[in-house]
Structure 1
Amino acid sequence: MKLMNPSHQRKRWYPLIVFLALSVLMIFAACGLAPASLPGATHRQIPPLTLLTNTESYDPIRYHAAHQMADWWQQLGFEVEVIPMEFNELTHAVRNFDPEEKDWDAFTMSWTGRVERADPDMFIYSIAHSSQAGIMGNNYCEYRNEAYDALAEAQRRVMNPDVRREVVYAAQEKLAQDVPYVTLFYRRVVQAYRQDRWENMTAMAGEGIYHEWLPFHAQPRNAHAKETMARLVIASNQEPSSLNPLTASTVWEWKLLRLMYDKLARVNQYFQPKPWAAREIRQVNDVTIDVILREGMTFHDGQPVRPEDVVFTYDMMRERGVTYFAAFLDPIEEVVLLPDRTIRFRLKEPYAAFITMTLAQIPILPEHLWSGFLPEYERAAPTTPGASENMPVPLVGSGPLIFETWEHGKRITFRKNPHYFAADDVDLDELIYRLYPDTESVFQALLSGEADMTGVNLEPEQLSRAEAFSEIKVIQVPDLGFHYLGFNCSRPPFNDPVMRQAAAMAMDLDYLISQYLEGLGDVGGPGQPISTGNVFWKNPAVTQYPFDITKAREMLHETGYTWDEQGRICWKE
């Protein structure tokens, strides 16, 4: 066999190589890619993205949605590593106080729509204002924009709801433009309970039946309830990380803490704040609010609840910079004790949501226990925020339920407070928060009668199964919160708004609703923190980006991003 001279071989294949190269050039040009994307050009690949999400057992919908979004982003040219994490571990990673230690690019999470969050301040100010980034707390995405900050601040100062709504609308438009996160969907709250055992299980928008009014609403059906133990068992697949009111930062902690502690106000199912531990709340002027404390209240250890306890709590939380409540405590200039059990709050400037977002959220702590405990607490973590969150704290409040036991991984038990000022309105004797490994186990506990209600959402496929049991009552209400994908805006590549816009455009949100929620929810979009269930405050003009990966690539190309011969996206040169 005669061997061909290598130089002759190269000449033979040269026309074909040229033809193929020109063909590739034409294809890349048609896709909107520059000639720099061809072999031989100098490229610096963008490293693989890290996308944090929850485990499948915690929330299979967000887990699978995260993998789906990774597939879409790979069509943009990214390599994406999806990292499932246990809920408390995920929360800690996302909420890390030091932006330089946020070693991730994106994450999936949700903000629960507790009823007080019907006021837009939580989602407009607390999770997106630049003062809440870094060590301040709830701005996990590290989003910073002066123009947006001005809008978020302005909506707090406007007392007229109709005028304030226009500012809230403008803030939503700015978020849609900058895309610090993408709202994936507003999932309907779907929970269930044993109607053969309990009645009057009132559902509230954003929270379903598992809300802070539960002890006052739930009534046992047992005709002999007064002679037997009325025990309400809530099934959940998520254990709190702690019950420390200074460091608690998740819905699973506060859903229990607000049953143990009283607040000066509570928000009812009509989104209206109602004086609670306060007998009366008086708006003296735009920056002065007087609160008259209810008489006859006691803490769980029998000590009286005094106006001094309220002043102590607010001063201590402000001085310590409790991150979860920082946005709602910052407006306070001072808290002053007046005669006749009156506490005066002087604000730095008008704050439209003060009663709803501050008075209705801050728990009243007993000074006689915490004043002696704090020095020890401070020595445990004198400078590092969160370092002492697992340190035992006095679990003594003045609320309707008294903490009894916590068997880690199994249950948390509470009993009725017989000395509560509204004890006659509480018909349950004991509440057990029972833990299960996953949502299916939660569902099975309900069906078997081991539990009385679900503390988490039913999965779509469980809905039809539950309706086959006459003993089970399923409720559905709109959510006031949202499930979202957040970007790490503090580092490349997502510190570039165009990159965030392109990533948002490469996500088919309608597909998520149909594929994973089976229609039990509404589509989200870029930014968009206000739920479709919160009609008054939601800007109807702000909509989702069209799903268009080709256009997303064109946007990136126009701003200087390129692709290498493997199709991997590269940094701007």
Structure 2
Amino acid sequence: MAQQPGEPRLDRRTLLEKTGATTVAGAMVALAGCGGGGGNGDGSPEDGTDEREGTPAEDLERIDSLNFVTWTQSQKPGYFEQTRMMQSEFEELGIPSELIPQQFPQPYTNTLFETREYDMLMLGMEGAAYRLDPSFYLNTVLHSSNAETGGWNISGFEHDELDQLSEEQQRLIDQEERQSVVYDIQRIQKDQQAWTVYQSPNLASGFNSDNLEHPGEENTVPGEGFSSPFTLTTIETTEGGELDYGKVLTSIDSFNPLQADSADDIQFIEPFYDTLTKIGPSGRAENWLASDVTVEDDTTVVVTLKDGVTFHDGEPVTAEDVAFSYRFQQENKAPYVATYLEPMSEVTAGDGEVTFSLSEPYAPWSTLTMGQVPILPRHVWENVTEENDISNPANYENKPPIGSGPFEFSRHRDGSLLEMTAVDDHPFAPNIDTFRYRLYGNKSTAQQALLNGDIDVLDQLPSTLRGGVRDQSGLTLNFQTQHGLRTLLHNERRGMPFTDPAFRRALSYLIPRQRIVNQVYDGEATRGGSIIAQGNEFWHNPEVSPNTYDPEQARTILEEAGYAWDDDGRLMYPTDGSN
């Protein structure tokens, strides 16, 4: 039986005694070998110290059938098929499991962040723009401080050296220096199999090529399809100036930036509100409302604003509006941006410029903070609670939303439509006149709307629906390399064998990556190994390559780590957890 939460774990003194190391970080290196890209390329550390052959039978325990949480076949057939393929391979090596399909968002999200009731779990991460900055995966996801209930360290992974490097990359303002540390973290992640990343699918979009010209890679942000501000402001139609965009969602919950807490919420609000920067097609911050950004020192950033920008009610956008927006959302803990505002200790407005003082160096400031915090009109929000008799500004309906973005609110029918019109004098004035989100209950219905000509664009098309788009005249199927991930997680809170890097490495060699690419994604995916995908070109470490499918190598890794098999072929794992 796997060790349960709350049972003793290997303590610091025992860890140091067993490895001869003087620090916990050094001990982890000695035990698991934090060499680049998987050490010798065969799953073993470079120095070969990971061997523990000949474990006495009384120190071995027969592995139970594991709970393997996945998505439902009806909701995500591709996800379900991937886990079924992995389950079969694990079974061949004496590791039985039961697939536990769960519906998204519930109970799947509750399993991820609250109950943590799983042994293994298949997780799909989409390529949202903010995840291009390495802070999300290397700090929010992998740092041990985020392993608490509700945190993104879903597997409970702990590694002292990785924590130290994660904190360091958060502080490095120089991008080349930061990149070097980000590369080092990826080596540790891959060696430890903190997340067993195995796939990065291309983003499939169907669009009406009779009405639209593809904006080109220079105007598309990785993972965003046609929905990024760069794409929506540059795309052109052949006639009518109208663009209808299909979205699978039953309703739009709010237009209030202080209530938004998900990427879906932000996607609907973003066209109405400017930010100082945007994550651009390069995956790095590009000026938006800012005309210039000067980093005076590691904790002082001065932003000069573009001239002549106005809110949708005609009032000018001033430095005071920007300073107010940052203070107001920090004080009211706006859920989507609260974390990004934590480093700000002071903000002051000058003549057309804003100065940010940070409590400590914060590398993601230009991407995650200035690229995410919406600029609010002070005259609308300063007295919003008193004027609307509410206790919290998050309760303000904010309809219509008044921002300074490239699109202005036109109309909304809950559950079916959100329409907006172009702002002709915006610095990034759109080439189209009208943009509409049309909502559908499922992907099949949305795909039929595309085939019928009711919408012009549908992103994230599953392989099962691509054929109809590919075969229809006037429609084009487009694929974009992105930075989304498909990964296997081990619940390390349950102790052995999940806490053993050798066990996690072995299972990585059992995942038929290329077969999944071919059978599930029709060849439109990239085999993965690093938590920073290849589509995130600047931050991806090209030396961190995917493990190949190699069941014999998996068996060898387990044997050298002291595992064995009983007469029924069931895996027996060491109970002392000393590997």
Aligned-partner Cα distance in 1 for 2:155–2:397: 30
Q: Which residue number corresponds to residue 310 of structure 1?
A: 322
Please say if 1:66 is aligned against 2:72.
Answer: no
Aligned-partner Cα distance in 2 for 1:322–1:561: 49
| TM-score between the two structures when normalised by the length of structure 1 | 0.77
Deviation string, structure 1 residues 158-192 (Cα, Å, up to 9, x no partner):
34443333222111100012212122212122212
Aligned-partner Cα distance in 2 for 1:339–1:256: 31
Matches within 5 A, 1:389-400: 393-394=397-398, 396-398=401-403, 399-400=405-406
Q: Relative to structure 1, is the Cα distance of residues 548 and 274 closer, same or farther in structure 2, using a 3 angstrom cutoff?
A: closer
Q: Displacement, 1:287?
A: 2.0
Please say if 1:544 is aligned against 2:546.
Answer: yes
Aligned-partner Cα distance in 2 for 1:326–1:59: 32
Rg (Cα) greater in structure: 1
Deviation string, structure 1 residues 512-539 (Cα, Å, up to 9, x no partner):
11221121111012xx122223334322
Deviation string, structure 1 residues 26-48 (Cα, Å, up to 9, x no partner):
xxxxxx997849xxx99675363
Q: Which residue number corresponds to residue 441 of structure 1?
A: 445
Please say if 1:75 is aligned against 2:75.
Answer: no
Please say if 1:505 is aligned against 2:509.
Answer: yes
Q: Which residue number corresponds to residue 104 of structure 1?
A: 118
Q: Displacement, 1:114?
A: 3.9
Aligned-partner Cα distance in 2 for 1:504–1:112: 21
Q: Is the 8 A contact 2:69 2:99 kept in 1?
A: yes
Aligned-partner Cα distance in 2 for 1:538–1:556: 29
Q: Displacement, 1:483?
A: 2.3
Q: Displacement, 1:110?
A: 3.1
Q: Relative to structure 1, is the Cα distance of residues 328 and 76 closer, same or farther in structure 2, using a 3 angstrom cutoff?
A: farther
Aligned-partner Cα distance in 2 for 1:241–1:78: 43
Q: Displacement, 1:346?
A: 1.7
Q: Which residue number corresponds to residue 184 of structure 1?
A: 198
Q: Displacement, 1:489?
A: 3.2
Q: Which residue number corresponds to residue 418 of structure 2?
A: 413
Deviation string, structure 1 residues 178-234 (Cα, Å, up to 9, x no partner):
212122212122212112122354442333323222331222212xx3xxxx43222
Q: Displacement, 1:264?
A: 0.9
Deviation string, structure 1 residues 415-442 (Cα, Å, up to 9, x no partner):
115476347434232312321423x433
Q: Determine helix, strand or coil for the equivalent of 2:455.
A: coil
Structure 2 residue identity aligned to 1:274: E
Q: Relative to structure 1, is the Cα distance of residues 155 and 264 closer, same or farther in structure 2, using a 3 angstrom cutoff?
A: same
Q: Which residue number corresponds to residue 293 of structure 2?
A: 281
Q: Is the 8 A contact 1:235 1:434 kept in 2?
A: yes
Q: Determine helix, strand or coil for the equivalent of 1:443.
A: helix
Q: Relative to structure 1, is the Cα distance of residues 122 and 43 closer, same or farther in structure 2, using a 3 angstrom cutoff?
A: closer
Q: Is the 8 A contact 2:485 2:533 kept in 1?
A: yes
* Number of matched pairs: 515
Please say if 1:476 is aligned against 2:471.
Answer: no
Q: Is the 8 A contact 1:298 1:419 kept in 2?
A: no
Q: Relative to structure 1, is the Cα distance of residues 451 and 510 closer, same or farther in structure 2, using a 3 angstrom cutoff?
A: same
Please say if 1:259 is aligned against 2:288.
Answer: no
Q: Is the 8 A contact 1:191 1:476 kept in 2?
A: yes
Structure 1 residue identity aligned to 2:534: T
Larger mean Cα displacement after TM superposition, 561-570 or 107-116: 561-570
Aligned-partner Cα distance in 1 for 2:411–2:206: 25
Q: Relative to structure 1, is the Cα distance of residues 564 and 271 closer, same or farther in structure 2, using a 3 angstrom cutoff?
A: closer
Q: Relative to structure 1, is the Cα distance of residues 197 and 245 closer, same or farther in structure 2, using a 3 angstrom cutoff?
A: same
Q: Displacement, 1:500?
A: 2.4
Match of 2:66 among 31, 36, 48: 48
Match of 1:350 among 345, 357, 361: 361
Aligned-partner Cα distance in 2 for 1:76–1:367: 63
Please say if 1:491 is aligned against 2:494.
Answer: yes
Q: Determine helix, strand or coil for the equivalent of 2:471.
A: coil
| TM-score between the two structures when normalised by the length of structure 2 | 0.77
Q: Which residue number corresponds to residue 148 of structure 2?
A: 134
Q: Is the 8 A contact 1:237 1:456 kept in 2?
A: no
Identity %: 25
Q: Determine helix, strand or coil for the equivalent of 1:89.
A: coil
Q: Is the 8 A contact 1:181 1:486 kept in 2?
A: yes
Q: Displacement, 1:238?
A: 4.2
Q: Which residue number corresponds to residue 454 of structure 1?
A: 458
Larger mean Cα displacement after TM superposition, 320-329 or 287-296: 320-329
Deviation string, structure 1 residues 302-333 (Cα, Å, up to 9, x no partner):
66544444334433544565665465334x24
Aligned-partner Cα distance in 2 for 1:68–1:397: 50
Q: Relative to structure 1, is the Cα distance of residues 373 and 51 closer, same or farther in structure 2, using a 3 angstrom cutoff?
A: farther
Aligned-partner Cα distance in 1 for 2:519–2:389: 48
Q: Displacement, 1:279?
A: 3.6
Q: Is the 8 A contact 1:125 1:327 kept in 2?
A: no
Q: Which residue number corresponds to residue 17 of structure 2?
A: none
Q: Displacement, 1:397?
A: 4.6
- Runs of at least 5 residues in structure 1 that lack an aligned partner in the other structure: 1-31, 381-387
Q: Which residue number corresponds to residue 237 of structure 1?
A: 248
Q: Relative to structure 1, is the Cα distance of residues 115 and 303 closer, same or farther in structure 2, using a 3 angstrom cutoff?
A: same
Q: Determine helix, strand or coil for the equivalent of 2:355.
A: strand
Q: Which residue number corresponds to residue 93 of structure 1?
A: 110
Q: Relative to structure 1, is the Cα distance of residues 48 and 91 closer, same or farther in structure 2, using a 3 angstrom cutoff?
A: closer
Q: Relative to structure 1, is the Cα distance of residues 458 and 131 closer, same or farther in structure 2, using a 3 angstrom cutoff?
A: same
Match of 1:336 among 338, 341, 347: 347
Deviation string, structure 1 residues 433-483 (Cα, Å, up to 9, x no partner):
321423x43333212212111122352x65454343331123222113322
Q: Is the 8 A contact 1:263 1:362 kept in 2?
A: yes
- Runs of at least 5 residues in structure 2 that lack an aligned partner in the other structure: 1-52
Q: Displacement, 1:142?
A: 3.3
